[in-house]
Amino acid sequence: MSGSVQVVQKLQEQHQLQQHHQLQQHHQLQQHHQLQQHHQLQQHHHQQQRRYESSYHLSTKSSVSKQSFSTYKTSSHRVKTSVKTEKVQQELKLSPLPKRAKRTYLAMDKDKEVIGYVIPVFRANHDVVRGLMEAQEEDVTEEGINYVAMRNLFVREAREALDVKVEKKTRTKYVRESAERLEVNRTMDEWAEFRKKMNPDNLTHRPEFIVKPRGQTVWEGKTVKLHCTVAGWPKPKIAWYKNNVLIDAKAHPEKYTVESNYNMHSLEIKNCDFFDTAQYHISALNVKGESSCVATIVVKSSISETCLAAGESSSSFPLHGVTFETTIIDKFEVAFGSEGETLSLGCTVIIFPTVKRYQPDVVWYRNSVPLKPSKWVHTHWSGERATLTLVHLNKEDEGLYTLRINTKSGFETYSAYVFVRDAEVEVEGVPVAPLDVRCHDANKDYVVVTWKQPAVEGSSAILGYYIDRCEVGTHHWAQCNDNPVKYARFPVTGLVEGRSYIFRVRAVNSAGVSRPSRVSEPVVAMDPSDRARLRAGPSAPWTGMIKFTEEEPTVGVVPGEPSDVMVTEATKSYVVLAWKPPVQRGHEGVMYYIEKCMSGTDTWQRVNTAMPVKSPRFALFDLAEGKSYSFRVRCCNSAGVGEPSVSTGEITVADKLDLPSAPGNPVATRNTDTSVVVSWGASKGVTQLVGYYIDCSVVGTDVWMPCNNKPVKQTRFVCHGLTTGVNYVFRIKAVNAAGYSQSSPNSDAVVVKAAISVPGKPTGVTLLEAVKDYMVLGWTEPANNGGADIRGYFVDYRTVKGNIVGKWHEMNLKALTTTTFKAENLKENVFYEFQVRAVNMAGVSKGSVPSAPLECKEWTITVPGAPVGLHVLEVRDTSVVVLWEPPLFDGRSPVNGYYLDIKEASAGEEGWKAVHEKTNKMKYMKVTGLKAGTSYVFRVRAQNIAGVGKPSATLGPILAQTRPGTKDIYVDVDDDGVISMVFECSEMKEGSEFVWSKNYQAITDTSRLTITHERGKSRAIFNSPSLDDLGTFSCVVTNTDGISSSYTLTEEGESAHTLGISAHRIWCSPVIPFKNEMAMELLEKGRVRFWTQVEKCTSACQVDYVFNDVIITQGKKYTMNFDKSTGIIEMFMDSLEVTDEGTFTFNLVDGKAKGTTSLVLIGDEFRELQKKSEFARAEWVRKQGPHFVEYLDFTVTPQCDVLLKCKISKKDAGIYEVFLSDDRGKDKSTFNLTDAVSMSSYFYFFPSANSSSEIQVTSTEHGIILYSMVTHYNEDLRVGWLHKDAKIAASERVKSGVTGEQLWLKINEPTEKDKGKYTMDIFDGKDGVKRVFDLTGKDRARVVGGLPDVVAIQEGKSLNLTGNVWGDPAPEVSWTKNEKALVSDEHLMLKFEHGKFASITITAVTTSDSGKYALLVKNKYGAEAGEFTVSVYNPEDEEKEEKKD
């Protein structure tokens, strides 16, 4: 066959040569010109051959191959062809080509004029082409073959262009075409030079920037990326610098990302802020030298989106020349929440000055990532307060939250950490839920699910995880894996293309399975290219042009082989393969078959025999651990199955990812009263690190508690929520996808207490007095003393002349102990600026804000100077006490009073108003009537005869809010009648002391009070109480955040001052406190009991019993009792007579203390009580003889007989008669029960004990009731209850009794201890019966979690809440709103699923949906209610109310 082909090829060559000579004879001139063009192009392409694979090189190889290749067959199987040269013979695998029309290689215009030629594309893969290039370099005769092929090609195709038309070109067109050719040549030369430099086979050369990084200007909060391309050999090393400081991207992964791929380098800067404005250098270094380049990044603050949204441009606002000052107050602190709860964070923002219609840009961040509103995250900006609400907390919500306020003049931020604790587990010992479930590498039928391991493994190590999936729009969860997977990464297959799925993960250990994690974001099963096209959005707009492209027909063509088959993941549980689709695959798409071959065999087995996969990813399970396998992939379509890909090589089925190594030794240091800073060494050699978990334990215990429930990647963490004064140790463990590392060694024990730091800056540096050569300065002490007392102050000064300021100089070498200073040796008429620094045992603070330029010039004013030393005490929701010191400069006359001014912190200067009208002569004042949660600013002005002086430096802003846990002073009277005032503080620090004062001045007369301290409690004891002790007593705890309180004693119990200070009355004689006032109780036999109870008394306490101001004593009518151990005082009366109407009084005397309590019984109340007493006594008398327990009654039997019945007791022996009479006559029936024999036979005929039923159980809102019904009950029946064969003692929680014919045992608030066997022992005098009931394994219905306390939701939104319930048997569930039962409808849907999850859904909530809701659960062992409040708000209504205010 090959011989015949060679003969045909030779005949074709001869025929082509003949045609060539004929054409030369007829068209010598034309062909000469065309050959010149042909040689030029051939030389040009030949120069570019080694620089890149050009279409000319491919076409020449193709033409040569056509002469030596055998004719291929048009079938679905590939054909092997050969290329022969003089030196080498090479076998190539070519992709099959379908039959088609003969291709023309001449390029013609619309007039069929030849304007060039087209080189056919050589069909082979990249490796084959590179092999042909290398063969050409080795064989110099290849160039001749190329020339012959091109000549023959040109001659053969030139016959179709015999009619040559000559086109006349203008000079302009000729010049343009020449310029274009020059431009093309220059471009080709540049590319050649570029390829030469990028080719590693060339000689080494120093780095050179082909593409330099470009400077950029970005908005704050955005991400910017610098790109560049660097050439050089050997491959240069790259380093990035910021302002000549090396950037360590690994140390700050949350800020920087550095990438280097194929000589392309980039630096990504995330969440840009003002401090990212800098010059960024990139340095490239190799053995030949170093090159660098610089780019400048400028970060600008963003324009308020609120203004732009309103249709106003920034220029329409009066913002030019306005500098905004932003202050964040009422800041949220470190917060703690539990899973399922709702948590709100908020800050009050003050922006000065206030510009109408201008609003700042409010952005919330979590771990430096901006938060977007979602069903889990709600943000609100009221114009003054920014609020972030986290609905249904999960551990994914844990992190550092930052509030950023962007204005035209800059930005202000505040950050605090939010911790999310695990919800209580339903079964003790099971692990907590995993977190951060994400989906990656989604394809048509495949997705990789990843998650993070929880911080708590439970009572035993986690054995693995279960992955569940749910199709979006349904509520059916399907488990994806039968056996738990150990890795925190799992490939899920079998998805349906085009459908969306969500996933969740559950952890399992030997104790059971955890709760499911929060569901992942929905992911669509589709081809990644389709997803990218959908994300790209709409195509380019219509341009009015339509372009047609002729595509090669591929129907009926078997697809080629996949490429780059590799193993992306390999564990002992599964292996994941990935590959690239074939180039030749057609428009109908391809699917894949995967084959495996075990090491040591040649047998290939198809893995997915039932159905080919659509995605270029596949996960293989059920492989033998420790064995080696090879894998390959085949493509298939409707035309058939293609050839297999290249094998992956042997892959061993085993875990490729190792557990991380143990972190380094942790070091714990003091931070605050409730937090400790822990730092540790990073795990060495760890790959794919997820983060670290920190555990803490109280010294002396072996109970470890997690400090964080979301892993952190930094090697430093602040552990909050610790108990002050307790010793803790800490340990660290690292985690990656493979699992947990070994725990690090325990840290040294550290006591939780605040660390001492340098104090804050002093404030309010003002001029108090000025003379020719000295000035008196005053300032306010810093708000933060750094955890230690301020030891003094240093004053610095500098001269000011115009806009030129001098250097700072110290004025005092020894620290000042006061907040005033006399600056001497100054020059007259010279301006000075001053700053003050505070010092404590930790060091010197930063300098205060410099004062305004002050002129050293003698004052001639007559009014007093400004008061100094303003500070506040006793800050509460509606009040605050402001104190100050008098001015140093009194003016021409002494100061005779003060005025206190106040304004809200957000108001302007026009907002100042006086607190009082008349002059205040005191140096303190209590301001009342404040709004809770509002910040205020204060100032004081002094007055003398000449007038009112300048106001003092402002104090504040002060937030009107009572600190959590704040306690007030209270008055206590002991057993001896000693009066004292007590103040307690639970936030005592090292060095804290109680300081008492009277009228806010130091107590100088110590003979009046004796002060004692004991364990956070201070007591001020009055030695001899008298009117001299009247006044306001206050107590301040030093070294705290202003903890203080006061108590005012006045003679008449009303305020004697005009300051508005609330007063409390105190008597010179102490009062005995009563726990209960006198009460009355009606007893059996009609007796009346009067009683009361005192809180405490001594053994010497005496009681006088008084009736209508007359002391009564014990006798026949009255019986008294006083139990001093319990404090109960009782008086009994056998009956009430008409003369007993009046007032009953108990007078108590206990040393100096006295007490009185009374009860008035007059009028209708007395007469009604008297009737009840008489009736009760009559009933008791009746029951002393034969009597009816139940009076005569009748019932109708099923046989229509009338049965008359009554009930008597056993001891009621006698003759009973029944009389029956009407108009016709009368009759009598007598029954004799006097005979003992008949009595015995009658009563024993109906044994009471045997008539009792089995014990049953019922539930109430308070607990459960065990009961038995007795058909025949008599008073001699004795009943005893036993629990676990032990007699039950009666208490407030467990009670037993008889109601009618029911014998019952009530158990309120049952616990686990109440489970077990209960026995009811019944004895009727003759027989005994025991009824047994077992409560083992039974659980009362409970609401175990999931419901928040309060839900705030915007009108129009949908509310969905799910409560977790528990009980055995499964409880009955109902919902109520405002104590009314709810019924499911279209607006309100109620569901109860799996016996555990009760959900309520309210669609499009309105304000009418606000109210108090409850989830009621009940089974026969108990009932419980989970209550929550729903508040629906309308933002528009809130804005209207704010405008009205």
3-state per-residue secondary structure call for 1194-1225? EEECCCCCEEEEEEECCCCCCEEEEEEEECCE
Residue-wise pLDDT for 1000-1014, tens only, equals 888 877 778 888 888
Residue-wise pLDDT for 497-535, tens only, equals 889 999 999 999 998 999 999 999 999 988 776 666 665
User: Would you say the C-alpha torsion 1017, 1023, 1024, 1029 has a positive or negative sign?
Assistant: negative
Work out the pLDDT band at 1274, boundaries 50, 70, 90: low
How many whole angstroms separate alpha carbon 1275 and alpha carbon 1211?
10
Helix (H) / strand (E) element for 47: namely: helix 28-48
Q: What is the pLDDT of residue 1108?
A: 84
Residue-wise pLDDT for 579-613, tens only, equals 888 877 666 678 888 898 988 888 888 888 777 88
Q: In this model, does residue 84 exceed pLDDT 80? A: no
Q: In this model, does residue 106 exceed pLDDT 50? A: no
Q: What is the pLDDT of residue 159?
A: 53
Collapsed DSSP state (helix, strand, coil) of residue 223: coil
Q: In this model, does residue 636 exceed pLDDT 80? A: yes
Work out the pLDDT band at 1445, boundaries 50, 70, 90: low
Q: 3-state SS string over 622-664?
A: CCCCCCEEEEEEEEEECCEECCCCCCCCCEECCCCCCCCCCCC
For residue 1232, the tally of other CB atoms under 10 A from its CB is 12
Q: In this model, does residue 915 exceed pLDDT 80? A: yes
- Alpha-carbon separation of residue 632 from 563, 564, 646 (angstroms): 10, 10, 6
Closest CA to 293 of 310, 303, 281: 281
How many whole angstroms separate alpha carbon 780 and alpha carbon 762?
6
**The token pair that represents 880 in the structure block:** 């605050």
Q: What is the pLDDT of residue 975?
A: 62
Residue-wise pLDDT for 853-909, tens only, equals 888 887 766 778 788 878 888 888 888 888 888 887 777 678 888 988 988 888 888
Cis? peptide before 234, omega within 30° of 0: yes
Non-local (6+) Cβ contacts of 991 within 8 A are 788, 789, 1038, 1039
Torsion of CA 1369, 1373, 1379, 1385, to 10 degrees: -170
Asked whether 1193 and 1202 are in contact (CB, 8 A), the reply is no
* Residue that wins the pLDDT comparison between 1068 and 393: 393
Closest CA to 1149 of 1131, 1109, 1122, 1115: 1122
- Alpha-carbon separation of residue 262 from 105, 198, 225, 236, 563 (angstroms): 37, 10, 17, 12, 21
What is the b/e burial string over 382-397, where b = at least 16 CB atoms within 10 angstroms of the residue's CB? eeeebbbbbbbbbbbb
Work out the pLDDT band at 104, boundaries 50, 70, 90: very low
Q: What is the pLDDT of residue 746?
A: 92
How many whole angstroms separate alpha carbon 938 and alpha carbon 413?
26
Residue-wise pLDDT for 1343-1389, tens only, equals 767 778 778 888 888 888 888 887 777 888 888 888 888 888 888 88
What are the backbone dihedrals phi and psi of residue 1403, each rounded to the nearest 5 degrees, phi first? Answer: -85, 135
Q: What is the pLDDT of residue 6?
A: 42
Asked whether 1089 and 1132 are in contact (CB, 8 A), the reply is yes
How many whole angstroms separate alpha carbon 719 and alpha carbon 738?
26
Residue-wise pLDDT for 244-261, tens only, equals 888 988 888 889 999 988
Non-local (6+) Cβ contacts of 559 within 8 A are 582, 584, 585, 586, 590, 635, 636, 637, 639, 642
Residue-wise pLDDT for 789-831, tens only, equals 888 999 999 999 888 888 899 888 888 888 888 888 888 888 9
Q: In this model, does residue 552 exceed pLDDT 80? A: no
Strand order in the sheet with 385-390: 325-329, 343-352, 385-390, 377-381
Residue-wise pLDDT for 163-181, tens only, equals 445 566 777 888 888 888 8
Collapsed DSSP state (helix, strand, coil) of residue 192: helix
Closest CA to 300 of 196, 231, 218: 218
Q: What is the pLDDT of residue 402?
A: 94
The pTM of this model reads 0.44
| Average per-residue pLDDT for the chain | 77
* Residue that wins the pLDDT comparison between 695 and 1273: 695
Closest CA to 1256 of 1245, 1272, 1270: 1270
Asked whether 1021 and 980 are in contact (CB, 8 A), the reply is yes
Q: What is the pLDDT of residue 614?
A: 81
**The token pair that represents 1175 in the structure block:** 């009736």
**The token pair that represents 1406 in the structure block:** 């309105």
**CA gyration radius, the chain:** 48
Q: How many percent of the chain have pLDDT more than 70?
A: 77
